[in-house]
Amino acid sequence: MFKILRKKELNPTVTLMDIDAPLIAKKAEPGQFIILRVDEAGERIPLTIADFDREKGTVTIIYQIVGATTAKLNRLREGDSLHDFVGPLGVASHTEGLKKVAVIGGGVGSAIAYPIAKKLHHQGATVHTIVGFRTQDLVILEDEFRAVSDVLKIMTDDGSYGEKGLVTAALQQLLDKGEQYDEVIAIGPLVMMKFVCKLTKEYGVKTVVSMNPIMIDGTGMCGGCRLTVGGQTKFACVDGPDFDGHLVDFDEAIERSNMYKEFERHQYEETCNLFKGV
């Protein structure tokens, strides 16, 4: 059993948990993920490792309450335990040798971008971070990003905080100013990553994207995270989750991810109805 040592609400729909998992913390790297089950009868879901502390033996996960399992997970409290917590899984993000990087996070994807920005910063790289949210109330990890970024731009769709606009607008401003990056790393909604890649391709800047948003099973067995990269079939959970963004067929990935929305909505509603009055 894996005890929840800390639980913190980051915004109305996003929660952070520190889990006691010393063996995973010992080997975890940015970009990797875990698979958890809330209880013995629970669904297995993959969640990216948002942070880890090797000395304390803790692994941090950050999740958005969007489905049945995340709703059930969010009912747990500090001191409760998860039935299963397995990892680290996936291929760690490549950061070695990078001197100047733009790290871009969209929404809850910012939680995945943070450990990469943190590692790059500790390696001595110059880190320009751009994070985007719909509105001020949804902003997360601002202090954490500020501590590891040489430049931090916060974008909101409605202009309620930071600068008004999309992350692509902020990135284009930096590129037009003459900023030259060894790599752009983008993590967030598929549509956001698609247009970041479209922009960076015009400027000839290598771009890596994390395809964790399409992962379901986390082992490659379900085929739900199948995608086309450079004309070849890959699996986000086994071969990734990081890929060359200029080679990813985003239209195909977006179409496949939409296949499960109706099913997940029904499962979420059933779970919420189950917990009503509890």
Q: How many CB atoms lie within 10 A of CB 91?
A: 15
Fold match between domain 2-89 and domain 100-210: no
Q: CA 265 to CA 262: how far, in whole Å?
A: 5
Amino acid in position 256:
R
CATH H-level, domain 2-89: superfamily = Translation factors (2.40.30.10)
CATH 3.40.50.80 fits 100-210, yes or no: yes
pLDDT (tens place) for every residue of the chain, 278 residues total: 799 999 999 998 999 999 999 999 999 999 899 999 999 888 888 898 999 999 999 999 999 998 888 999 999 999 999 999 998 988 888 999 999 999 999 999 999 999 999 999 999 999 999 999 999 999 999 999 999 999 999 999 999 999 999 999 999 999 999 999 999 999 999 999 999 999 999 999 999 998 876 656 555 556 566 778 888 888 777 777 888 999 988 888 888 776 655 545 544 444 444 445 44
Q: Please, which residues have CB within 8 angstroms of residue 4's CB and are 6 or more apart in sequence?
A: 17, 18, 19, 20, 76, 77, 78, 79, 80, 81, 82
Q: Which two tokens stand for residue 265?
A: 């909505």
pLDDT tens column, 59-89: 999 999 988 889 999 999 999 999 999 989 8
Q: CA 242 to CA 62: how far, in whole Å?
A: 19
pTM: predicted TM-score of the whole model, two decimal places: 0.85
HSE (side-chain half, CA atoms, 13 Å) at 167: 32
For residue 102, count CB atoms less than 10 angstroms from its CB and return exposed for 0-12, middle for 13-18, buried for 19 or more: buried
Residue ranges per domain, the chain? 2-89, 100-210
